[in-house]
């Protein structure tokens, strides 16, 4: 039986793990992040991969340090010729150089573009119409190793990060099995990432600043920012009333073209259930949002509780 060690933490990594099991692979162990305190009660929260692996009765390892001698000794004792990594930490050489057949990673972009922690989000934020997934052998840098396989995926005009995440997880799950099969069968033909003629677009970790909306930018840019950060961590803005300021997260919008110039951030009540925010030469219709301290809601519900919306502005 083909034997692997699997490493991953978030929900994106559960799909490929399931696919390997369904394809008949023996998963000698699953390596995932340690449980972390979460919520007001600081109860320990298990990773999604741990919950899935526990349900399948798989051996689970949760090292604090990937260089811990006891962890490395146990990893070696598993005698797995191949390691598979999906959405995990950067591995030290002691780990990725251990297996006989190598250690490969699934990345949610068409490398070399969008190397980094948030490839799905940045592809949408930048207005890409196509992305994909890549499997590659891990080396001593981040997302720079030799490519094994790539598969392309269109990005629909209304796609958000959540829906694209699910599409790429499904595509990537099949690609992980294809890659593992090719390595075990001795058919893999890895090749270097071609960066000579490419302007490489990065995918750095998302920060609070990534989500802050600047209404001086064009409607298309803000529209892409909103869907690229929806449903998490979400683009946000300040809604300024005459006497207070309220932070709002914005989950869904659409571009509305206008021939009437207004100052950026101006709010216009379009109907009883919809409103526009002007930005650049056009405006955005805000469809779903979440005021601070409240739940996510449709614009119509939000507007029902605000009488003087015309006297407010986005900032």
Domain at 309, CATH number: 3.10.25.10
Within-domain flag for 198 = no
Digitized pLDDT (tens) for each residue of the chain, 315 residues in all: 899 999 999 999 999 999 999 999 999 999 999 998 877 666 889 999 999 999 999 999 999 999 999 999 999 999 999 999 999 999 999 999 999 999 999 999 999 999 999 999 999 999 999 999 999 999 999 999 999 999 999 999 999 999 999 999 999 999 999 999 999 999 999 999 988 756 899 999 999 999 999 999 999 999 999 999 999 999 999 999 998 999 999 999 999 998 888 999 999 999 889 999 999 889 999 999 999 999 999 999 999 988 788 889 999
Q: Is 275 found in the same domain as 151?
A: no
Q: Is 280 found in the same domain as 248?
A: yes
Q: What is the CATH number of the domain that holds 144?
A: 3.40.50.170
**22 to 49, 56, 91, 249, 275: CA distances (angstroms):** 16, 11, 26, 39, 48
With H, G, I as helix, E, B as strand and everything else as coil, classify residue 235.
Answer: strand
Distance of alpha carbon 171 from its chain centroid, rounded?
Answer: 15
Q: In 94-171, where do the E strands start and end?
A: 102-107, 130-137, 147-154
Q: Is 170 found in the same domain as 33?
A: yes
Q: How many separate domains does the chain show?
A: 2
Q: Is 220 found in the same domain as 100?
A: no
pTM reported for the whole predicted model: 0.95
Q: Is 144 found in the same domain as 23?
A: yes
Check residue 44 and give its pLDDT: 83
Q: Is 232 found in the same domain as 147?
A: no
Place of tokens 């959540």: 162
Q: Is 216 found in the same domain as 309?
A: yes
By residue range, what is the domain housing residue 220?
208-314
Q: Is 145 found in the same domain as 37?
A: yes
Yes or no: say if 283 and 260 are a contact pair by the CB < 8 Å rule: no
Q: Is 81 found in the same domain as 17?
A: yes
């Amino acid at each position: 039986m083909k034997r692997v060690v699997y490493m991953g933490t978030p929900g994106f990594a559960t799909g490929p793990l399931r696919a390997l099991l369904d394809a008949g692979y023996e998963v000698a162990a699953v390596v995932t992040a340690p449980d972390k305190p979460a919520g007001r009660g600081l109860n320990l929260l298990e990773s999604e991969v741990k919950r899935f692996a526990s349900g399948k009765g798989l051996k689970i390892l949760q090292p604090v340090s990937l260089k811990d001698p006891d962890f490395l000794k146990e990893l070696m004792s598993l005698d797995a010729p191949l390691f598979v990594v999906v959405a995990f930490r950067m591995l030290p050489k002691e780990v990725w150089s251990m297996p006989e057949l190598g250690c490969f990673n699934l990345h949610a972009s068409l490398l070399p573009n969008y190397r980094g922690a948030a490839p799905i989000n940045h592809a949408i934020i930048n207005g890409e119409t196509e992305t994909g997934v890549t499997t590659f052998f891990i080396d001593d840098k981040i997302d720079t190793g030799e490519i094994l396989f790539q598969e392309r995926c269109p990005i629909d005009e209304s796609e958000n990060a959540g829906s694209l995440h699910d599409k790429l997880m499904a595509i990537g799950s099949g690609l992980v099995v294809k890659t593992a099969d090719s390595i075990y069968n001795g058919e893999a033909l890895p090749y270097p990432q071609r960066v000579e003629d490419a302007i490489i677009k990065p995918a750095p970790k998302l920060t609070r600043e990534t989500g802050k909306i600047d209404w001086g930018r064009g409607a298309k840019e803000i529209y892409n920012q909103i869907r690229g950060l929806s449903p998490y961590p979400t683009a946000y803005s300040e809604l300024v009333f005459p006497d207070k300021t309220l932070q709002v997260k914005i989950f869904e919008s659409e571009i509305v073209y206008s021939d009437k110039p207004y100052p950026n951030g101006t709010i216009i009540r379009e109907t009883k259930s919809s409103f526009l925010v002007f930005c650049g030469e056009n405006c955005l219709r805000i469809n779903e949002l979440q005021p601070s301290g409240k739940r996510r809601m449709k614009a119509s519900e939000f507007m029902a509780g605000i009488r003087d919306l015309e006297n407010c502005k986005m900032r």
